[in-house]
């Protein structure tokens, strides 16, 4: 695992790249795959508000594109003071690709670190095993 303070610095350096003209809240995220590789994302808002993309969703999309579907860890940082945690929709998106014990680390602007497992953030999350839920 890369050092948490290095990842925090990398996420802070990405915050200006977020496209957040509507909320003004810049968010950067990284997801760590089974091989330890990090995939980054920022939030990308849209004038049609619901079309906006969270930083976590953007990072997950990069990971899946790179062939990674077993996430060990998710990191998130924002331009707000203190720690932020993924929204409900992103908790479900993380849950979809969470490896056993997958944890979310929130990295604050003053070096604060919070950690929770995805199971803590989304108890009793919905999951379909491959093949389940398909129409006969």
Q: Does 122 bind ligand THU (CB under 6 A)?
A: no
Stretch that binds ligand THU, among 62-70, 83-91, 114-122, 125-133 (CB under 6 A): 83-91
CB of 75 to ligand THU, least distance (A): 11
Find the binder of ligand THU among 23, 34, 113, 127 (CB under 6 A).
23
Stretch that binds ligand THU, among 8-16, 23-31, 97-105, 121-129 (CB under 6 A): 23-31
Phi first, then psi, for residue 135 (nearest 5°) are -70, 140
Total residues interacting with ligand THU, rule: CB under 6 A: 15
CA–CA gap between residue 35 and residue 55 (Å, rounded): 21
36 versus 85: smaller Cβ distance to ligand THU = 85
List active site positions: 56
CA–CA gap between residue 136 and residue 133 (Å, rounded): 9
Secondary structure of 14-45 in HEC code, one letter for each residue: HHHHCECCCCCCCEEEEEECCCCCEEEEECEC
33 versus 86: smaller Cβ distance to ligand THU = 86
CB of 43 to ligand THU, least distance (A): 3
List of residues contacting ligand THU (CB under 6 A):
20, 23, 25, 27, 43, 45, 52, 54-56, 76, 84, 86-87, 90
């Amino acid at each position: 695992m890369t050092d948490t303070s290095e990842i925090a610095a990398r996420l802070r350096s990405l915050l200006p790249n977020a496209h957040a003209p509507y909320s003004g809240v810049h968010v950067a995220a990284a997801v760590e795959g089974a091989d330890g590789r990090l995939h980054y994302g920022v939030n990308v808002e849209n004038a049609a508000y619901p079309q906006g993309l969270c930083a976590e969703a953007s990072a997950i999309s990069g990971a899946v594109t790179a062939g990674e579907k077993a996430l060990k860890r998710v990191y998130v940082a924002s331009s707000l003071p203190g720690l932020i945690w993924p929204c409900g929709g992103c908790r479900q998106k993380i849950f979809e690709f969470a490896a056993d014990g997958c944890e979310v680390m929130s990295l604050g602007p003053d070096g604060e670190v919070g950690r929770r497992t995805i199971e803590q953030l989304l108890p009793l999350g919905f999951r379909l095993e491959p093949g389940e839920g398909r129409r006969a």
